[in-house]
């Protein structure tokens, strides 16, 4: 599987006045699960469609196995894709859906039965797809992506609709496929799942690259020298530590994240003022926290957060002005971060009928 790569180079795509992807570049190497993330409208769907030959780039390249998708002689055997789990005829049985895909590339019928068993769908293989739950349609779509035993996989939100057992299954499946030398690109909004599954992360916003780094390096940079403090007297602790020169952020009703003071000094200050402390420890950022910090200026669509109520017995002093004054700064040592550009992604407006066309192209759908 030496040719198992996904390569995007200086990709640009415009839909009318909307610049969906603006000079995007990244590579997915063999043997890795790479998470592909960004806010709604960031350009993820357009990029995936360009890689599968469904949208023609205005500039740049989108290559799988070193070639444009249309140049692949047997695409199902080289690239497997899941873009839309609903892109299957509701009147067609699950096994029959896989059989026509297999027949299009000269694969034996037994291969359809093998992937149905692999995804746990053998018991529902002869039921019509219109009666499948969302999770069952996801499993059928993954089976179609695996049908040709491809070296490259492109999966858009593969855990949608899966139950906890299904999520654990696909996590193990993706890591096992990557261990065999495949290049896997997974687009998802579920950071907690990517944190447990992905080796690498490509973050985009407004059509441009924000970060291209390993998950471990991103979490390390986001964690920094922060200290986590749990206290019932959150407001009093915030005011004291801020006066002492620390930067303080509220992360829960009774939890603060403190930067600029060591843990021992924090304990000394709070104890001297009689402020109760339940826990003090090094803060380990989650992937969701790191992602939110990276993309805070790149979200195309945002909602106003509800105002938080102060715990009982405390004055409600956490006003917008106070929050601004103690908000934690962005890390200065983020790996491979570029500025966001003013671009949007109209691919979110692409209807499911276009995605359904992907099933007739041999893209593993």
| Residue 334 within any structural domain of the chain | no
CATH of the domain at 55: 3.40.50.300
User: Is 365 domain-assigned?
Assistant: no
Within a domain: residue 251?
Answer: yes
- 207 shares a domain with 254: no
Q: Are residues 196 and 235 in the same domain?
A: no
Let me know whether 151 and 267 are in one domain: no
- Residues 165, 53 share a domain: yes
Inside any domain, residue 274: yes
In this structure, the answer to whether residues 17 and 70 fall within a common structural domain is yes
Enclosing domain of residue 268: 223-301+309-326
- The answer to whether residue 337 is domain-embedded is no
User: In terms of domains, do 320 and 173 share one?
Assistant: no
Long-range contacts of 102-111 (CB under 8 A, 24+ apart): 102/147, 104/76, 104/362, 105/74, 105/76, 105/77, 105/148, 105/362, 107/76, 107/147, 107/148, 111/147
pLDDT at 351: 41
Among residues 249, 223, 244, 213, which one has the least CA distance to residue 234?
A: 249
Same domain membership, residue 227 and residue 203:
no
CATH number of 244's domain: 3.30.70.980
Whether residues 22 and 102 fall in one domain: yes
Is 117 in the same domain as 242? no
What per-residue confidence (pLDDT) applies to 306? 65
Number of structural domains in the chain: 2
3-state DSSP of 154-219: EEECCCCCCCHHHHHHHHHHHHHHHHCCCEEEEECCCHHHHHHHCCEEEEEECCEEEEEEEHHHHH
Q: Is residue 152, in this structure, part of any structural domain at all?
A: yes
pLDDT of the chain, 365 residues: tens digit per residue: 557 899 999 999 999 999 999 999 999 999 999 999 999 999 999 999 999 999 999 999 999 999 999 999 999 999 999 999 999 999 999 999 999 999 999 999 999 999 999 999 999 999 999 999 999 999 999 999 999 999 999 999 999 989 999 999 999 999 999 999 999 999 999 888 899 899 999 999 999 999 999 998 898 888 778 899 999 999 999 999 999 999 999 988 999 999 999 999 999 999 999 999 999 988 788 898 888 888 887 777 777 666 655 555 444 444 333 333 334 334 334 444 343 333 334 333 344 334 344 444 444 43
| Residue the block writes with tokens 């916003």 | 205
Q: Is 1 within the bounds of a domain? A: no
Tell whether 189 and 314 lie within a shared domain.
no
Q: Residue 44: its pLDDT value, please?
A: 96
Identify which of 19, 18, 22 has the alpha carbon closest to the alpha carbon of residue 10: 22
Helix (H), strand (E) at residue 359: none
Residues 40 and 78 in one domain: yes
Residues 228 and 354 grouped into a single domain: no
């Amino acid at each position: 599987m030496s040719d198992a790569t996904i390569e995007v180079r200086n990709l640009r795509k415009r839909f009318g006045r909307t610049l969906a992807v603006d000079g995007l570049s990244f590579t997915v190497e063999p043997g890795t699960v790479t998470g592909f993330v960004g806010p709604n409208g960031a350009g993820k769907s357009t990029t995936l469609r360009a890689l599968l030959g469904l949208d023609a780039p205005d500039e740049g390249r989108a290559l799988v196995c070193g070639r444009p998708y249309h140049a692949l002689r047997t695409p199902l055997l080289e690239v497997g894709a899941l873009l839309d789990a609903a892109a299957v005829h509701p009147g067609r049985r699950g096994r029959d859906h896989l059989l026509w895909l297999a027949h299009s590339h000269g694969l034996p019928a037994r291969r359809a039965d093998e992937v149905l068993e692999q995804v746990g769908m053998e018991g529902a293989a002869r039921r019509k797809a219109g009666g499948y739950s969302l999770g069952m349609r996801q499993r059928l779509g993954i089976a179609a992506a695996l049908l040709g035993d491809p070296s490259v996989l492109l999966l858009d939100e593969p855990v949608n609709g899966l139950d906890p057992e299904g999520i654990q299954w696909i996590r193990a499946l993706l890591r096992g496929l990557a261990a065999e030398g495949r290049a896997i690109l997974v687009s998802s909004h579920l950071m907690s799942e990517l944190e447990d599954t992905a080796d690498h992360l490509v973050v985009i916003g407004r059509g441009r690259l924000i970060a291209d780094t390993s998950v471990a390096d991103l979490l390390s940079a986001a964690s920094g020298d922060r200290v986590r403090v749990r206290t019932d007297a959150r407001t009093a602790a915030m005011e004291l530590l801020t006066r002492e020169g620390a930067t303080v952020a509220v992360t829960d009703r009774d939890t603060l994240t403190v930067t600029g003071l060591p843990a021992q000094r924090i304990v000394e200050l709070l104890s001297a003022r009689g402020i109760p402390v339940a826990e003090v420890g090094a803060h380990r950022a989650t992937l969701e926290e790191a992602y939110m910090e990276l993309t805070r200026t790149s979200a195309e669509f945002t909602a106003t957060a509800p105002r938080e109520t102060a715990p009982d017995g405390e004055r409600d002093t956490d006003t917008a002005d106070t929050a601004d004054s103690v908000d934690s700064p962005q890390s200065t040592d983020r790996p491979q971060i570029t500025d966001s550009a003013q671009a949007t992604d109209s691919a979110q407006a692409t209807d499911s009928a276009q995605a359904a066309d992907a099933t007739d192209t041999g893209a593993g759908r």
